[in-house]
């Protein structure tokens, strides 16, 4: 895997992981009973985006390391999966 391919895979993993991490610890204004004028009730009270970006980066790095080990070190790929449908 080249550097550009690795960065592309890492970016995809990071972006997917961000959507997993975003709802963690979310408390809406409706749940907190503290609603700011001009905002939706579902808007977060304290988004803590810096913390979520840090958690996303750490988690994405772990997932990317596992992906790298499986595909580059062990040499496994899609062709190594068992064929469920005959003739494929």
Examine residue 87 and state whether it is found in any structural domain, yes or no: no
Show Cβ contacts of residue 2 under 8 Å, excluding neighbours closer than 6 positions: none
pLDDT over threshold 80, residue 68 = yes
Examine residue 86 and state whether it is found in any structural domain, yes or no: no
Examine residue 85 and state whether it is found in any structural domain, yes or no: no
Examine residue 25 and state whether it is found in any structural domain, yes or no: yes
Measured in degrees and rounded to the nearest 5, phi and psi for residue 44 equal -70, 150
pLDDT tens per residue, range 18-62? 999 999 988 888 888 877 788 888 888 888 899 999 999 999 999
Domain of residue 69: give its range: 3-80
Examine residue 43 and state whether it is found in any structural domain, yes or no: yes
- Split at pLDDT 50, 70, 90, the class of 3 is very high
Examine residue 24 and state whether it is found in any structural domain, yes or no: yes
Domains in the chain, number: 1
Examine residue 55 and state whether it is found in any structural domain, yes or no: yes
Examine residue 8 and state whether it is found in any structural domain, yes or no: yes
Instruction: Please state the pTM of the whole predicted model.
Output: 0.79
Show Cβ contacts of residue 48 under 8 Å, excluding neighbours closer than 6 positions: 25
């Amino acid at each position: 895997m080249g550097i550009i391919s690795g960065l592309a895979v890492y970016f995809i993993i990071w972006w997917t992981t961000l959507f997993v991490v975003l709802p963690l610890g979310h408390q809406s204004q409706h749940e907190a009973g503290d609603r700011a004028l001009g905002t939706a009730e579902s808007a977060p009270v304290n988004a803590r985006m810096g913390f979520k970006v840090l958690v996303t980066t750490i988690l994405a790095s772990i997932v990317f390391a596992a992906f790298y080990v499986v595909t580059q070190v062990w040499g496994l790929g899609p062709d190594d999966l068992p064929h469920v449908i005959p003739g494929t």
